[in-house]
């Protein structure tokens, strides 16, 4: 399937440093794509290039098969990390204004906004000034104006910051909903838990360079350490297991269950491991330990930074 967004050899320099250095990756259609990286890695620059706020020095961007151009502006919804609305303007009026800037006519905008305001239970705030709203409410309004023109590409920069857990859940469901309706979602975050929960694909960037890219499951496979976690009832230590299974952790608890961590070689078949281990006792649970995206993130960034020193 053709990727929805293709970033091809994109570079961007500011006067004294390289914000993006030959970055290429694809965002598949109707997926949630996580853009990860420490502060100052180049995420914002990349997002601004996609929003056509700035232009790349080199490279191309394809949007659904055509080169990115101003006509795509109305197909993109952008929620920046730094939220902001006109404080003195009325909520409804402001939402209509921002929707109009994205190319909706006032009537359609109003109709859709009423629907969303109802859904987020903020309908009664239509005629209030933004400064009278709580921070969470302002965030809701901002989210609504981001999606109001039903964009094909949604760019969320730290969408969950500033929301309470209940609203984070509401938002997550909305994001998944939007994807199911056909939107492609790009989101940049430091919240690794939400990445594992939501993202289909990720890419990791540091100091303008891309470190890795791929689907979340693939990347986890790629970085796994071949450690299996097992729980065995009546574990007998006398029975020999092959040497290439290294037991890295062993803890026997009161009701006769022993927890083990076993590290194996790269190409070990888990069935083989189970066969060997079954002799030692009754298997209660078996699971391959995969690294969290958080671990991969920290390890990758640190490795890179250390290798440069």
Partner 1 sequence: MKIGIIIKREYLTRVRKRSFVIMTILTPILFAALMFLPTILMNNSEKFDKKRTIVVNDETGFFNGKFKNTDVHTFIFEDKDIESLKELVEQEVYDGILYIPSTSLNLPVNAKLYSKKALPITLSSYLENIMKQELQKQKLLASGIDPALVKAANVDINITSVRFDENNEEKNIYNILEMFLGLGFGLLIYMVIFMFGNQVMSGVIEEKTNRIVEVIVSSVKPFELMMGKIIGTALVGLTQFMIWIVLTLLIYSAGMLAITPHEMISTGMMNEQAVTTDSRQMIVNAMEMANSINFKGILFCFLLYFIGGYMLYAALFAAIGSFVDNETDKQQFVLPISLPLLFVMVCCTMIINNPDSSFATWLSIIPFTSPVAMMMRIPYGVPYWQITLSVALLVVTFVFITWVAAKIYRTGILMYGKKTTYKEIWKWLKY
Choose the stretch contacting partner 1; rule: CB under 8 A; options: 51-59, 158-166, 221-229, 288-296. 51-59
Q: What tokens does 272 get?
A: 């083989």
Give least dist CB 111 to partner 1, A. 18
Burial of residue 89, with CB atoms counted within 10 A of its CB: 0-12 exposed, 13-18 middle, 19 or more buried: middle
Examine residue 83 and tell whether it contacts partner 1 (CB under 8 A).
Answer: yes
182: left (phi over 0), alpha (psi -120 to 50) or beta: left
Examine residue 19 and tell whether it contacts partner 1 (CB under 8 A).
Answer: no
Give least dist CB 262 to partner 1, A. 50
Examine residue 135 and tell whether it contacts partner 1 (CB under 8 A).
Answer: no
Q: Which is nearer to partner 1, 101 or 247 (CB)?
A: 101
Q: Could you give the dihedral angle defined by the CA atoms of residues 55, 61, 67 and 69, in that order, rounded to the nearest 10 degrees? A: -30
- Smallest CA-to-CA distance from 156 within 22, 52, 25, 43 is with 43
Among 3, 28, 59, 80, binds partner 1 (CB under 8 A): 80
Choose the stretch contacting partner 1; rule: CB under 8 A; options: 48-56, 159-167, 235-243, 254-262. 48-56
d(CA 27, CA 23): 13
Q: Which is nearer to partner 1, 51 or 167 (CB)?
A: 51
Among 76, 198, 211, 277, binds partner 1 (CB under 8 A): 76
Q: Are 175 and 95 in contact (CB under 8 A)?
A: no
Alpha-helical regions (H) of 20-134: 43-50, 91-101, 106-119
Q: Are 20 and 45 in contact (CB under 8 A)?
A: yes
265 to 103, 188, 269: CA distances (angstroms): 57, 35, 9
The angle, 0 to 180 degrees and rounded to 10, between the axes of the packed helices 165-180 and 135-147 is 0
Q: Which of residues 145-164 bind partner 1 (CB under 8 A)?
A: 145
Examine residue 75 and tell whether it contacts partner 1 (CB under 8 A).
Answer: no
Examine residue 116 and tell whether it contacts partner 1 (CB under 8 A).
Answer: no
Give least dist CB 95 to partner 1, A. 11
Q: Which is nearer to partner 1, 64 or 200 (CB)?
A: 64
Among 43, 102, 152, 220, binds partner 1 (CB under 8 A): 102
Choose the stretch contacting partner 1; rule: CB under 8 A; options: 23-31, 77-85, 178-186, 283-291. 77-85
d(CA 151, CA 275): 52
Q: Which is nearer to partner 1, 184 or 258 (CB)?
A: 184
Per CB under 8 A, residues contacting partner 1 are: 15, 48, 51-54, 73-74, 76, 78, 80, 82-89, 97-98, 100-102, 142, 145
């Amino acid at each position: 399937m053709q990727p929805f967004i293709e970033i091809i050899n994109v570079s961007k320099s500011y006067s004294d440093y390289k914000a993006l250095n030959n970055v290429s990756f694809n965002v598949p259609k109707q997926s949630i794509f996580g853009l990860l990286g420490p502060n100052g890695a180049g995420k914002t620059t990349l997002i601004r290039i996609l929003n056509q706020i700035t232009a790349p020095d080199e490279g191309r961007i394809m949007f659904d098969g055509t080169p990115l151009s101003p006509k795509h502006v109305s197909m993109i919804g952008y929620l920046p990390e730094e939220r902001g609305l006109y404080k003195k303007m009325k909520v409804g009026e402001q939402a209509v204004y921002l929707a109009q800037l994205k190319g909706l006519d006032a009537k359609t905008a109003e109709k859709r906004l009423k629907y969303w305001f109802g859904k987020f239970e903020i309908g009664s705030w239509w005629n209030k000034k933004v400064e009278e709203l709580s921070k969470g409410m302002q965030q809701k309004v901002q989210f609504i104006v981001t999606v109001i023109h039903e964009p094909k590409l949604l760019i969320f920069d730290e969408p969950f910051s500033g929301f309470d857990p209940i609203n984070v859940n509401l938002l997550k469901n909305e994001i998944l909903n939007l994807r199911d309706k056909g939107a492609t979602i790009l989101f940049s975050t430091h919240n690794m838990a939400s990445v594992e929960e939501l993202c289909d694909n990720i890419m990791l960037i540091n100091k303008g360079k891309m470190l890795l890219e791929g689907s979340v499951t693939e990347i986890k496979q790629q970085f796994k350490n071949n450690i299996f976690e097992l729980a065995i009832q009546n574990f007998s230590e006398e029975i020999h297991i092959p040497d290439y299974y290294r037991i890295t952790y062993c803890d026997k608890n009161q009701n006769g269950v022993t927890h083990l961590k076993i590290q194996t070689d790269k190409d070990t078949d888990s069935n083989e491991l189970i066969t060997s281990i079954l002799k030692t006792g009754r298997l209660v649970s078996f699971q391959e330990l995969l690294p969290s995206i958080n671990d991969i993130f920290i390890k990758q960034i640190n490795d890179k930074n250390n290798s440069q020193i």
